[in-house]
Each structure stands twice: as C-alpha cells, then as structure tokens.
Amino acid sequence: MTKPCRVADEQTWSDVGALDAIPRQGSRTVASAVGDIAVFRSVDDQVFALLDRCPHKNGPLSQGIVHGSRVTCPLHSWVIELQSGQAVAPDQGCARQFPVKLEDGRVWLDMAG
Amino acid sequence: MKQKLVLIGNGMAGVRTLEELLKIAPDAYDVTVFGAEPYVNYNRILLSPMLAGEKTLDDIVLNGPDWYAGHGITLHKGKKVVKIDRRQRLVVAEDGTQAGYDRLLLATGSTPALLSVPGKELDGVIGFRDIHDVERMLSCARQHRHAVVIGGGLLGLEAANGLRKQGMQVTVVHLVDNLMNRQLDAPASQLLQRALEDTGLDFLMQAQTEALLGDTRVRAIRFKDGTELPADLVVMAVGIRPNVELARCAGLHCEKGIVVNDTLQTFDPRVYAVGECVQHRGQLFGLVAPLFEQAKVCANHLAGYGIARYQSTVTATKLKVTGIDLFSAGQFQGGEGYENLLFQDPARGIYKKLVIQDNRIKGAVLYGDTVDGAWYFQLMRDGTDIAALRENLLFGQAHLGDSGHGAESKAVNLPDSAEVCGCNGVCKGDILKAITTHKLFTLDEVRSHTKASASCGSCTGLVEQIISSALGADYSVSTDKKPLCKCTEHTHDEVRQAIRKEGLKTIPAVMALLNWKTPDGCAGCRPALNYYLLSQWPGEYQDDPQSRFINERVHANIQKDGSYSVVPRIWGGLTTPAELRAIADVAEKYQVPTVKITGGQRIDLLGIKKETLPQVWHDLNQAGLMSGHAYGKSLRTVKTCVGKEWCRFGTQESMALGVGLEKMTWGSWTPHKFKMAVSGCPRNCAEATIKDFGVVCVDSGYELHVGGNGGVKVRATDLLCKVDSEEEVHEYCGAFMQVYREEARYLERTAHWIERVGLAYVKQRVVEDEAGRQALFQRFLASQQSAQSDPWAALAEEPAREQFAHLGSVA
C-alpha cells in the first residue's frame, strides 16, 4: 500500500536558516531549483521538509495548519504525514520528502538526488 | 506481557467493540474471539436483503479472515462457548477449546422468541436470526409454496417480503390490529398494510395462534377461533430473547438481559457485555445504532481511558422493504400532554405525524415521504425549539425559506449518477459503492472515504439519507452528542462552557483539562478553540496565528495556484476617485492579473504572490486603504444602496447608515463570516434580506432582519423587529452580533444558529430584554476596543513582513 517516497541517495547538506525563524506549529519555504520546499516545525521542535506541493492539487503545504507531525493542506484539507510525505488514508498520494536536520539551532537541508 | 481479552460472540456488537478498541489502543490486548456460527463477522442487518435475493453472502461480510489475521486476533469460529470459569478466568467451548482471559467481553446476542404452542418443534418452523435461518428459508422456498410469518413487526415484515420475492405465497399473522405497532400509529400502519397487500402479501390481523399442525413437518396453522391456514414454512418473528444462559450459569447477575452499568461492565468488573444480550437501566436493545454506541464506550473503558459513559439514546427506525418509505422515532403515539401535527394525503399515500410537547419534537411517524426524517430526528435529539418553524414544519426542511437546492432531495429516487456533493463531485453511486466496499456505517466514515459532504456540508442531510437507505432499518442518523472533532469527546458547547467556568486562557490549557486525545489538536479544533478563547477573553487572550486558517493568518484569500487575493475595505461600498486611482496604481505596479468587483461591493485584486503582499499593503495603506477582512470569519462587508440622498424612492440615508455600521463592527471576529446590508426602501436593492444582519429602511423607521444568507442554501432573513432611530439600529446590531459571537458554534452561520436555537430565543435576548440588550451591546463595544487595528499595517512593516519571504534558498 505505502509506496516509498523518493529519497536522496547522495547527501549534500546546506544551512537554510535559523530554527527560530520558523514559527512552532508552522512552516517557512526554501527556494530551490525543483521548486519551493516547505520546512515545518512541530510543536515539539522537530523539523521536516517536503516539496511544497500537495499530491492532490499542488496546494502549498507550507500554508497549512501543522498539528502533531501532520499538516492539513489549505486548499482541500488533505492531511499529509510530515515524516513520509504520505497522504493520510483514505486519501492516497505522496509529497516528495527531503532529509532535514537541526544543528545548533540551524536548519540543514539535503538536496541531493 | 500483554493482557488477554476474550470475546464471546462474533457478531456486530462484539466485533465493533474490537474495531473501536483497535483504533484507540491497538496493542493493549491479545484478542481471542469465539463465534458459534461457522462464519466470519457479517452484517446481520443485511440478512433481509439477502433473503430477498438482493445481496449475497459475500456482500454482507464485514470483516474477512484477513482482518482477524492482520490484527493478530485468534478466531474460533463454529465453536460455542459452554462455560465461563470466573475463578480461573477461563472460557471453555463445546469441543473443549479453552482460553484464559484478563478481561472478558460477552456479546452473545439474542435468539428469536418462539411461541409456546403445540407443534413448535416441527420441521419447517423457524426463527429469523442468522445465515443458517436464511438458508433454510431459501431452500424451503424452492420446494414449497405456503409460508406463514407470525409477527407483523419490523423483522416479520422483512422476512415476509423476502419470502414473497422468493416466490412463496405469504401470509403475515399478527396478534393486534396494527402492523409494526411498536413503531407506527394506526393510520401509518394501515397505509403500510395496504401497500404491502398491493405487493401480494396477505394479512391476518388480530389472530391468535393456537397450534401448529403436522406429523414431522408443519402442514398448517390453527388459530383460537378454530380456522386453519395451510403452511409449509412458519417463521416466528414475535420478538427476541437475550442470550443470557452462559452468563447466568457463570453467576453473573441477569434479569431479562445481562445487567450492565454505564461502562458496560457486568457485576464482575472483569466481564463486559455489549449488544442485544445486555440490559442497561432496564432497557433491552434490538437495533444497531445503540449497539455501536455501546461498542464505543466499552472500547474506551477496555483501553483504560474510562472517560466515556453509555446513556441510552433515542433511535429511529426505517423498514427495509424496497418501495416502502417509512420512518419512526421517539414518542410516536402522542397522547395526553402532547400535541400532534398531522399531514395526510391518502391519494399520494403520504402520512406525517409529529408529536410535540412544549414546542419540542418528541416523536415522529412518516409514511410515504421520509425525506425529512433525518432532520426531524436531529431537531428531536437537539431539543430544538420549533415555535418559529411550526407553520412550515410538516412541509419539511425544503420549505424553510430555502429556495436553493433543498427541494430536490429524494435520496431513494435519485439515480446512481446523480451528483450529491457538488463541492467534491461525488455521485450517489460513489457513496453506495464506498459503503459496500469499505463496509461503512457512519457519516464520518463516508465523509472521509468519499469526501461527500466534507466541504461545505450542505449535502449532509442527503448523504445521511443515502447511508440510511443503503443500510436500511437500523441506521440511526448519528450519535446524539457530536464531539467538536476527533481529538475530543466534548461538544462545542461543553468546550466553551469549560473555557468560561474554569477560566481557561490558552489552547494547551483547554486541551490539558479536557483530555485532548492528540498532542496539539488538528486543523478542525485549533481554529475553533482560538475563536472561543478570543471571544471569551477579548483584549486578554493572545491570538495564536498558527491555529488560524491560512487566510486569517496572512490576511488575504488563498487561491487555487497558491497566490492570494487582496480586497481593501471600501466603507459601505462608497469610494472616491483618489482611492480608485490608488487601487489602479497598485494593480499596475504589481501587474495584478485580475481585478474584479465582488458581490459585497468591493474591489478584488487577484493573483498576488505571498512575498509581494506586504508591499501591496504598504502602498494601499499609503492611500488610506486598509484590510477589508474579505478572508475572515469576521465582519465582511456592509452593502448599501444609495438611499434618499439620490434615489427618488429612498426613505432614509442608507449609505451613511451602512458606513456607520461598518465603522462600528469592522475587525470583529465571529463564529463564521458575517455580512450586512442596508437598503434605503422596501425595494431592497442592497439585498438585505439574505444577509446575516440586514436593514430595510421604511418611511417610519428601520426594519431589522437577521439570519439570512445566499450561498449553497439560500435562506431569507427573519424579521427581528422594527426600530425608530439610527442609534437603535446600531445598538440592536451590536447586541445581535454579540449573542451570536458568544453562543453560536464555530463555523455556524447565523442562519443555522437561528434554526437551532429558534427565532423566539433571539428575539427574547435582543428585543424583549432591554437591559440584556444593552449589556450585550456594551460587551460588543468593549471587545471592539482591542479588535479594531488594521492587520495590514502591522504586517507590512519589519519584522513582521519577514515571514512572507523565503526562509532561505538552496542550489
């Protein structure tokens, strides 16, 4: 049922900004060659990164309401798992996911692949 | 080590409890299930359609072997449990299979009661309970001709209908004069009898069975008056008897059923019971809706949450006989102390009766036209005051000033290709398919699988009708208490009350005190809580932008491509060349692709990128324009006509009044969007009678109208009252908005709120209670003190504008 999302194979990390610049339960976008990437910060300060396009109708996930480790798309309320990019059942689809990590209050994103 | 849970009874109530349990505590127990029937879990409700040849065995399976295996559940099917050893906590089946338990769940169901008459043990005399019974009836129908069904209740009539469809000559024998006398009054039951006679069923009323005749196989039935009737098959459907023997032998307290408390525990707290075998507060159960509710409560307790209690609920009944529409709920007989509202049209075969007490619906019988069953049931459960609806109540929801889509909702007659949910393009056929493929029972489940009624919600009633027509007799519209969302058991009203009484001042505080099931809520509850806190503690509560929908977070309307639209406030729809020039300049400077005049007399600039918003706002602010709140659950617009300043028919200064109202109310947050209009004469060019609050000026003063909207379901306003001065218009307007802000549920428009609480209530609060009105108005003005600041001005400057830009970029 769950198809694995595309994950980068070669890791090249870039510093994209301070964690403090992303609101808790919120998101900011990072411009990239493949389009905007939404970087999310959950209520417990975990960070996640997805391509900023809902698998349903390309809605900007970064603009959704973040709850737990999920986000609700602002266009038609699909719920997407931030960890995997998968839509929550019964909806089906997957937003591309990017490796992301926190170091000394900075957010690092891996764009390889 | 995991605790062991044993379920005795593989039927609907027991397995539903497991499903509920797996949802909330999937790893709590090692589960073993014993079922006396040699099948997996199936939908007993659909046995009637199966008998009628409309469904097959495969169609009615709820959970196949994969489900049991997938959840690690051990299933012993075809094994009847004969003994419970409570000391050793062990159950023993007929064939010697044993299983130990930490918790035991009894869901042993019921058996058809058999009349104690001579001959009841003859071949060809059966009850109607399980697949085995259906198979016996089907095989009998192939070889024999005459069937007699004893009992003209719900089950008996469904059995008779099925046997007739299988080609048998069927006579229904009933002890009293009225069919379905537990659900129908005399007129409805006569209509039903006539309709069933037309399909070819015979009836023998007020007939008391004396004996069943035959040697080994039944041949005829004899009545008290000596007459006889040939019968090759006799189906007894005279009621059900809870299966309590097993529990009784184990020393558990039983009366008619296994006695349980509000958490579905028997007198041994390790042993739970749900379904048709139980007796709760003296009541027995035969329909599926209450069983599902028991399942939920029981699962909650088994999972160790212990916050749910079972309270018996009113249920509604429908008959699953194709072509016959009937609906019954509550106190349908009426009698002393009750009033009856009646509608009878014998030519069309329509009968409706509503039983009313103190302006509240207490019961309903509908025959021939059951479209409004769900609506009456809702009014009944909510205890809605129907005084204001009374005049049109019997004609149905479609007649409540609703000239929109309401009138065409005959769920049963719709073709499969009919679009039910216009927002998400869901057809009736899609819903039916989802119900059968995914074994759905509730509105929520249908909603999440098909998206039907998941957007604007206006088709909810129709979707509920489709579910009930698909599931038949036992589908009850939904539980009586609707939680705010899936994160909590509490309703909107309970949450609001807790905020007020407990002095809760933050979203986490509300979630902590009310045992929220999720760490930080969801996109449904967070905006509601944010609003409730804001309206309860104006000036004090710190608004939480992350709990607002994006439009309110960035003060613009998101569009399908992720861009935004910007609508500056144009007071009362009045503008100036300078303002228009400024808007034109902005539109050119930022290359705005679309400029549109809105329905609320504003100008909409569409297609603006998020990062450009602060610059656009800055430029508009420079020209004296501010946020028009076209994006908010808030005061939107006050639309006006020109009024007596120019118009030869105008009676008052509607433009000035509209501007005044908008200056007073802008910036206020409301449960849902709030629109106003002021018309200068009864020609009503500003369309004030489809607004949340509308003023229609007349020569002698001002008519105040409330609770209208355009949109999906058009609802014309109700007249609140007439006042003499502009000052009064302001006061009544502020007071009305304030009651709505304080008491309506989040995302409830004024139209729905007024239909729920009744116009009489609103009149009492805003018109009759003068001191109360003034107090409301003062509270409204007080809350406006902290609400009226232009969000654009705040967001257009550093550091706030930073959030509209990218965080960074990568190669």
What pLDDT, on a 0 to 100 scale, did the predictor assign at position B798?
81
pLDDT (tens digit, 9 = 90+) per residue, B289-329?
A: 788 889 989 999 999 887 788 887 667 776 666 667 788 88
Over 50: is that where the pLDDT of B409 sits? no
Strands (E), B537-689: 557-558, 564-566, 594-597, 603-608, 635-640, 674-679
Over 70: is that where the pLDDT of B401 sits? no
What pLDDT, on a 0 to 100 scale, did the predictor assign at position B305?
83
Residue of B nearest to A34 (CA): B811
Q: Could you tell me the pLDDT band of residue B400, with boundaries at 50, 70 and 90?
A: low
pLDDT (tens digit, 9 = 90+) per residue, B714-752?
A: 889 999 999 999 999 999 999 999 999 999 999 999 999
Count CA within 13 A, CB hemisphere, residue B321: 28
Instruction: Mutate one of B423, B456, B486, B546 to test the A interface: name it (highest A CB count within 10 A).
Output: B546
What are the structure tokens assigned to B168, written together? 């048998």
* Distance (Å) from the alpha carbon of B455 to chain A's nearest alpha carbon: 8
Count CA within 13 A, CB hemisphere, residue B395: 11
pLDDT (tens digit, 9 = 90+) per residue, B83-102?
A: 999 999 999 999 999 999 99
What are the structure tokens assigned to B102, written together? 């930490």
What pLDDT, on a 0 to 100 scale, did the predictor assign at position B768?
94
Residue of A nearest to B423 (CA): A76
What pLDDT, on a 0 to 100 scale, did the predictor assign at position A5?
46
d(CA B325, CA B638): 46
- Which residues does chain B have within 8 Å of residue A49's beta carbon, measured at their own beta carbons? none
Query: 3-state DSSP call for residue B335?
Result: coil
What pLDDT, on a 0 to 100 scale, did the predictor assign at position B473?
46
Please name which of B748, B800, B172 lies closest in space to residue B491, comparing C-alpha atoms: B748
Which has the minimum average pLDDT: A51-60, B408-417, B761-770? B408-417
Chain B interface residues (partner A, CB cutoff 8 A):
438, 448-449, 454-455, 518-523, 526-527, 545-550, 553-554, 558, 560-562, 610, 802-803, 806-811
Q: How far is CA B707 from the centre of its chain?
A: 22
Instruction: Mutate one of B450, B558, B563, B807 to test the A interface: name it (highest A CB count within 10 A).
Output: B807
Over 60: is that where the pLDDT of B271 sits? yes
User: With an 8 Å Cβ cutoff, are B560 and A75 in contact?
Assistant: yes
* Distance (Å) from the alpha carbon of B476 to chain A's nearest alpha carbon: 24
Residue bearing tokens 């069937």: B147
User: With an 8 Å Cβ cutoff, are B520 and A43 in contact?
Assistant: yes
Statement: A16-110 belongs to CATH 2.102.10.10: yes
pLDDT (tens digit, 9 = 90+) per residue, B557-584?
A: 999 999 999 999 999 999 999 999 999 9
Q: How far is CA B257 from the centre of its chain?
A: 30
User: With an 8 Å Cβ cutoff, are A67 and B550 in contact?
Assistant: no
**Number of CB pairs, chain A paired with chain B, less than 8 A apart:** 99
Which has the minimum average pLDDT: A85-99, B136-150, B160-174, B287-301? B287-301
Chain mean pLDDT for chain B: 89
Report whether B50 contacts B59 (CB < 8 A).
yes
What are the structure tokens assigned to B719, written together? 């007249």
Report whether A47 contacts A62 (CB < 8 A).
no
What's phi and psi for B518, nearest 5 deg?
-115, 155
pLDDT (tens digit, 9 = 90+) per residue, B787-799?
A: 999 999 989 888 8
The beta-carbon neighbor of B558 closest among A24, A57, A63 is A63
Report whether B307 contacts B162 (CB < 8 A).
no
Which has the minimum average pLDDT: B127-136, B341-350, B500-509? B341-350
Residue type, B50: M
| Across A11-21, average pLDDT | 90
Question: Could you give the angle at the alpha carbon of B38 between the alpha carbons of B35 and B42, nearest 5°?
Answer: 75
- Give the residue with greater pLDDT, B115 vs B270: B270
Residue type, B135: E
Residue/partner pairs of A59-63 with CB below 8 Å, 24 or more apart: A59/B562, A60/A29, A60/A36, A60/B558, A60/B562, A61/A27, A61/A95, A62/A27, A62/A28, A62/A29, A62/A36, A62/A38, A63/A27, A63/B550, A63/B553, A63/B554, A63/B558, A63/B562, A63/B610
Over 60: is that where the pLDDT of B464 sits? yes
* Distance (Å) from the alpha carbon of A91 to chain B's nearest alpha carbon: 8
Chain mean pLDDT for chain A: 89
- Which residues does chain A have within 8 Å of residue B553's beta carbon, measured at their own beta carbons? 63
d(CA B737, CA B571): 19
- Which residues does chain B have within 8 Å of residue A43's beta carbon, measured at their own beta carbons? 519-520
What pLDDT, on a 0 to 100 scale, did the predictor assign at position B319?
66
Q: Which helix (H) or strand (E) holds B154?
A: helix B154-165
Dihedral of CA B331/B335/B337/B342: which sign? positive
Please name each of the domains of chain B with its CATH number.
3-110+242-302 (3.50.50.60), 125-238 (3.50.50.60), 492-548 (no CATH), 552-622 (3.90.480.10), 635-787 (3.30.413.10)
Report whether B24 contacts B295 (CB < 8 A).
no
- Give the residue with greater pLDDT, B441 vs B376: B376
Q: What is the DSSP letter of B759?
A: H
d(CA B162, CA B168): 9
Count of C-beta atoms within a 10 Å radius of residue B216 = 8
What pLDDT, on a 0 to 100 scale, did the predictor assign at position B447?
84
Strands (E), B251-388: 258-260, 271-273, 278-280, 316-318, 326-330, 339-345, 350-357, 360-367
User: With an 8 Å Cβ cutoff, are B526 and A65 in contact?
Assistant: yes
Instruction: Mutate one of A14, A28, A65, A79 to test the B interface: name it (highest B CB count within 10 A).
Output: A65
User: With an 8 Å Cβ cutoff, are B807 and A39 in contact?
Assistant: yes
User: With an 8 Å Cβ cutoff, are B526 and A67 in contact?
Assistant: yes
* Distance (Å) from the alpha carbon of B522 to chain A's nearest alpha carbon: 5
- Give the residue with greater pLDDT, A2 vs B789: B789
For chain A, the distance separating the N- and C-terminal CA atoms, rounded to the nearest angstrom, is: 24
What pLDDT, on a 0 to 100 scale, did the predictor assign at position B314?
67
What pLDDT, on a 0 to 100 scale, did the predictor assign at position B21?
93
Please name which of B712, B557, B401 lies closest in space to residue A75, comparing C-alpha atoms: B557
Instruction: Give the 3-state secondary structure of B32-84.
Output: EEEECCCCCEECHHHHHHHHCCCCCHHHHEEECHHHHHHCCCEEEECCCEEEE
Q: Taking the domains of chain A in order of start, what are their residue ranges?
A: 16-110
Residue bearing tokens 């006509």: B641
What pLDDT, on a 0 to 100 scale, did the predictor assign at position B320?
61
pLDDT (tens digit, 9 = 90+) per residue, B24-57?
A: 888 899 999 999 999 888 888 788 888 888 888 8
What pLDDT, on a 0 to 100 scale, did the predictor assign at position A6?
47
User: With an 8 Å Cβ cutoff, are A66 and B546 in contact?
Assistant: yes
* Distance (Å) from the alpha carbon of B617 to chain A's nearest alpha carbon: 19
Instruction: Mutate one of B511, B554, B809 to test the A interface: name it (highest A CB count within 10 A).
Output: B809
pLDDT (tens digit, 9 = 90+) per residue, B174-207?
A: 999 999 888 888 888 988 898 899 889 999 999 9
User: With an 8 Å Cβ cutoff, are B807 and A107 in contact?
Assistant: yes
Over 60: is that where the pLDDT of B11 sits? yes
| Across B275-287, average pLDDT | 88
What's phi and psi for B8, nearest 5 deg?
-105, 115
Instruction: Enumerate the β-bridge partners of residue A37.
Output: A30, A51
The beta-carbon neighbor of B521 closest among A31, A67, A76 is A67
pLDDT (tens digit, 9 = 90+) per residue, B214-246?
A: 999 999 999 999 999 999 999 999 888 999 999
Over 50: is that where the pLDDT of B433 sits? yes
User: With an 8 Å Cβ cutoff, are B807 and A25 in contact?
Assistant: no
User: With an 8 Å Cβ cutoff, are B560 and A30 in contact?
Assistant: no
